[in-house]
Amino acid sequence: MTAAPDTPAPLRRDAARNRQLILEAARAEFAERGLEASLDDIARRAGVGIGTVYRRFAGKEELIEALFADRMAEVVAIADEALANPDPWSGFVFWVTRLAEIQAADRGLKALLSSTSHGRDRFASAREQIAPRVVQLIARAQEQGRLRADVAPSDLALAGYMLSAVADYAGTVDREVWRRQLTLVLDGLRARRSTISPMPVPPLAVEQLADVMRGGA
Amino acid sequence: MTAAPDTPAPLRRDAARNRQLILEAARAEFAERGLEASLDDIARRAGVGIGTVYRRFAGKEELIEALFADRMAEVVAIADEALANPDPWSGFVFWVTRLAEIQAADRGLKALLSSTSHGRDRFASAREQIAPRVVQLIARAQEQGRLRADVAPSDLALAGYMLSAVADYAGTVDREVWRRQLTLVLDGLRARRSTISPMPVPPLAVEQLADVMRGGA
DNA sequence: ACGAACCGGAGGTCTATCCTCCACTTCATG
DNA sequence: CATGAAGTGGAGGATAGACCTCCGGTTCGT
């Protein structure tokens, strides 16, 4: 009677620790291998039995929701941060860059951001918050005259997707090469320019490219 | 004794027809769904039993080889055609565009071009022919001064991959949107420019983007 | 007409997933 | 410390999908 009406009984200490281990393992596994990472692998990585995972989370769906709720909020926050930048073009570049970084670092989050069919749309609201902010970011930068006038919001979504696709593809060999493609795309997005932006990282050597191709997909 | 030493006996007419049906179905299936399309599906699409497929081809591997040998040769030919263009920049643009077109139209070919792990490398030689031609295409366009000097061959490979990734992603909703991203990338690859290149196709509407995202991945 | 070639597709084998179940262990409390 | 509720691990059931084999029956070509 002292407890709040529906506070679930607190977890036993070992259970709480295991729950944490599971979340950490899941985060790592989803980041590396995407949302189709198996619960068995997650359990193994956490050093825990599969039964333990199912005792804590109804299923994969619930685990994903528990993990990614705040990550999606983080993306919304990044859009806000971009809009807070007084220089429209800088804000725009910040957004595109940060978004690509986030997706490059986490295949699971990438899937959640570019697909509607996971997580029963516990995440729909986050996506709905992001969209208008991106529209604004684009409009501002176009009014300023630095962003080419013929790009639509959907173009930016596709550009983000494509950058994270390279990150996935080459990520095992070089975690950062995708930044070169980003540089290319950003230079393509400028309304006009007389020079090129410097490349932030060295290119893949042919040898490394062969390694990437050995890696499948 | 009249036959050549190792000419395999000619196929019966029905068998020859079925072989053709299988090849056509396989081409379509691999193009739409990539190399992991199942032989069962291919058989069904060809209107033929699975047993018939296995009577003609030892397995998936052999089917892939039979299908894609000339397609890979075609890609080599495109590189040659690009090199034959007297204007280096035009040749370069031609190559990037045609390559993206080909990969956008055929997921199987895309996989073969960007991965080493399929087909036991019956295709290694084709890839080995392509590489030096691309190096040349890049070098020529850089010497001419129209292609930015800081792009490496591997950057182009990654750019091709990433364009075909958008094509895959959005292809079910709009077969041609990827051309907008191509325009962006090409404008980013120019050494300098004062204007933008016109977009070849209209952008995806927000509604359409939602459809794309509904489609998974 | 007749035998060789060919056919379909049921079903065997594998692999990989999600998830259940329960005998056993560990924790927290009186 | 004793006790029982909470927690644990992992074998294994259920399902799914892929590859491929086999063979009774059909069709072609001579």
Nucleotide nearest to B48 (CA to C1'): C8
| Contact present, B169 and A158 (Cβ < 8 Å) | yes
Pick the closest to residue B159 from B175, B192, B137 (CA basis): B137
Q: Would an 8 Å CB–CB cutoff place B34 in contact with chain A?
A: no
pLDDT tens readout for residues A29-65: 999 999 999 999 999 999 999 999 999 999 999 999 9
Interface test with B, best of A103, A114, A123, A161 (most B CBs within 10 A): A161
pLDDT of residue B2: 41
Work out the pLDDT band at A10, boundaries 50, 70, 90. Answer: confident
| Residue A2, pLDDT score | 40
Q: B154 pLDDT band (50/70/90 cuts)?
A: very high
Helix (H/G/I), strand (E/B), else coil: A147: strand
Task: Residue A101: name the closest of A171, A155, A28, A188 by CA.
Answer: A171
Return the residue matching tokens 């040659």.
Answer: B80
* Range list of β-strands (E), chain A: none
Q: What local confidence, expressed as pLDDT, does residue A192 receive?
A: 95
Task: Give the integer Cα–Cα distance in Å for A71 and A26.
Answer: 14
Residues of B numbered 158-177 whose beta carbons fall under 8 angstroms of chain A's beta carbons: which are they?
158-159, 161-163, 165-166, 169-170, 177
Phi and psi for B85 in degrees, rounded to 5?
-70, 125
Output the six-digit token pair for B72. 């890979």
**Distance, Å, B100 CA → C8 C1':** 40
Interior/surface letters B169-186, b for 16+ CB within 10 angstroms, e for the rest: bbbebbeebbbbbbbbbb
Predicted pLDDT at A117: 81
Q: Which residues pair with B193 in a beta bridge?
A: A193
Cβ within 8 Å of A, B 104-133: 111, 114-117, 131
Could you please report the per-residue DSSP string of chain B?
--S-TTPPPPPPHHHHHHHHHHHHHHHHHHHHH-TT--HHHHHHHHTS-HHHHHHH-SSHHHHHHHHHHHHHHHHHHHHHHHHHSSSHHHHHHHHHHHHHHHHHH-HHHHHHHH-SSSGGGSSHHHHHHHHHHHHHHHHHHHHHT-B-TT--HHHHHHHHHHHHHHHHHHTTT-TTTHHHHHHHHHHHHBS-BSS-PPPSSPPPPHHHHHHHHHT--
pLDDT in tens, A97-119: 999 999 999 999 999 999 988 76
Report pLDDT digits (tens) over B22-68.
999 999 999 999 999 999 999 999 999 999 999 999 999 999 999 99
pTM of the model as a whole: 0.93
CB half-sphere exposure, B156, CA atoms < 13 A:
28
Instruction: Count other Cβ atoms within 10 Å, centred on residue B24.
Output: 14
pLDDT of residue B120: 65
pLDDT at residue number A120: 65
